[in-house]
Amino acid sequence: MSGIFRGLTGEYRDMERHEHTRAESVKRQLAYYDRRLRLLLRATLLLTLAIISFILGGSVAAELIENNLGTRLLELETNHHPELSEAAEELRQAR
């Protein structure tokens, strides 16, 4: 689409007089393609932001799940070793 826009702008620049019917037609087409290209750029930006948000959201969710599982695993480990549970309780009370 940008190639068509480039071609039309070249044609419009090459016209000696910008007052005849073809010049008006090219001018309308340029306005149409300008709007379409701007919408495509905006859509591309929004899609990029959506993809980045999706990736970041997934990594945050994975981190939350990992932390939750790690906490459970740590509790299971400390339940098997009472001396670790006592040390952990002392640290909690010291805070």
What confidence category does residue 16 fall into, taking pLDDT thresholds of 50, 70 and 90? low
What confidence category does residue 18 fall into, taking pLDDT thresholds of 50, 70 and 90? low
Structure tokens that stand for 39 in this block: 């919408």
Long-range CB contact pairs, 30-38, < 8 A, 24+: 30/5, 33/1, 33/4, 33/5, 33/8, 34/5, 36/1, 37/1, 37/2, 37/5
What pTM, to 2 d.p., does this model score? 0.55
Domain ranges, ordered by start, for the chain: 2-94
Q: Give 40-74 pLDDT, tens digit per residue.
A: 999 999 999 999 999 988 888 888 888 888 877 77
Could you tell me which residues come within 8 angstroms of residue 34 by beta carbon, excluding any fewer than 6 positions away? 5
